[in-house]
Amino acid sequence: MTFTAAPTDLSGKTCLVTGANGGIGAAAAEHFAALGARVLTTDIGDRFTGDCASEHRAFDLASDDGLSGCCEWIANEVPDVLFNNAALFDMGSVLQANLDQYDRLFAVNVRAMYAVLQAVANALVAADRPGSLINLASQAGHRGEALVAHYCATKAAVISYTQSAALALARHKIRVNAISPGVIDTPMWETVDALFAKFENKPIGQKKREVGRSVPLGYMGHPSEVARVAVFLASDQSQYMTAQTISVDGGNVLR
């Protein structure tokens, strides 16, 4: 094989980003667009709030109607790259986290994640095209946490589906990997911080400062630091990688 140091280029690729109005989703959409991709975004809101051109559709992925609308869109558009990112966070130990919370978190973080992944995979197989599917896991998916029972379980499921999907789709030249962020400074952290304030009786903002300081690299990550890894996984630079979950966490999780 001849070695060529080609720059990363996503021109000619269509990239679909779910949860695109969130911190990490918007950053991924902007990075994909900056590298020449045609970007499709979806979120609950009618409008994409990020900073790049995209073709946006609003779907509530927790509802059957929203999910089937999104899957129909996918079948028509046949994206080459999926950034499967929409998710919800909530807290509670096994003594408190009830089945309503279980249903809400699993509906988006696992059920919708799976349905969207499956729709993109089927569209690519039908079109006989290769692709790169990227799921958003979490450091919470590698280890349970006393106060975060359901969210941790949803993210462990993302890692497992990533592996099963990668093995099933390898013969179709469709790669499936996951990114496992640590603590990234996004709107989700407003919710996380407020919940920890309640559960651990801390002032607002304290948990966020503590987790940032305890990262080996010394700070909370920026969404663009996750988006750069998304670009690598989306592009042919990672063509020999599949079934992997890559930690982007400043050194928080050692496996």
From the list 14-22, 95-103, 119-127, 231-239, the region that binds ligand NAD by CB under 6 A is: 14-22
CA pair distance 20, 33, nearest whole angstrom: 13
Given candidates 183, 231, 234, 246, which one binds ligand NAD under the rule CB under 6 A?
183
Contacts with ligand NAD in 190-249 (CB under 6 A)? none
Per-residue burial over 135-146, b if 16 or more Cβ lie within 10 Å, else e, is: bbbbbbbbeeee
For the chain, the helix, strand and coil percentages under 3-state DSSP, each to the nearest 5: 45, 15, 40
Annotated catalytic residue 151: yes
**8 Å CB contact between 185 and 222:** yes
Question: How far from the centroid of its chain's Cα atoms is residue 166's Cα?
Answer: 16
Given candidates 17, 40, 81, 108, which one binds ligand NAD under the rule CB under 6 A?
108
Q: Is 241 helix (H, G, I), strand (E, B) or coil?
A: coil
From the list 33-41, 86-94, 117-125, 142-150, the region that binds ligand NAD by CB under 6 A is: 86-94
CA pair distance 254, 139, nearest whole angstrom: 10
Which H/E stretch holds residue 181? strand 174-181
Give the residue closest to ligand NAD by C-beta.
Answer: 22
Q: Which is nearer to ligand NAD, 162 or 186 (CB)?
A: 186
Given candidates 14, 21, 41, 177, which one binds ligand NAD under the rule CB under 6 A?
21
User: Smallest gap, in angstroms, from Cβ of residue 1 to ligand NAD?
Assistant: 35
User: Smallest gap, in angstroms, from Cβ of residue 2 to ligand NAD?
Assistant: 37
**8 Å CB contact between 42 and 56:** yes
Q: Which residues are catalytic?
A: 151
Residues found near ligand NAD in the complex (CB under 6 A): 19, 21-25, 43-44, 60-62, 85-88, 108, 136, 138, 181, 183-184, 186-189
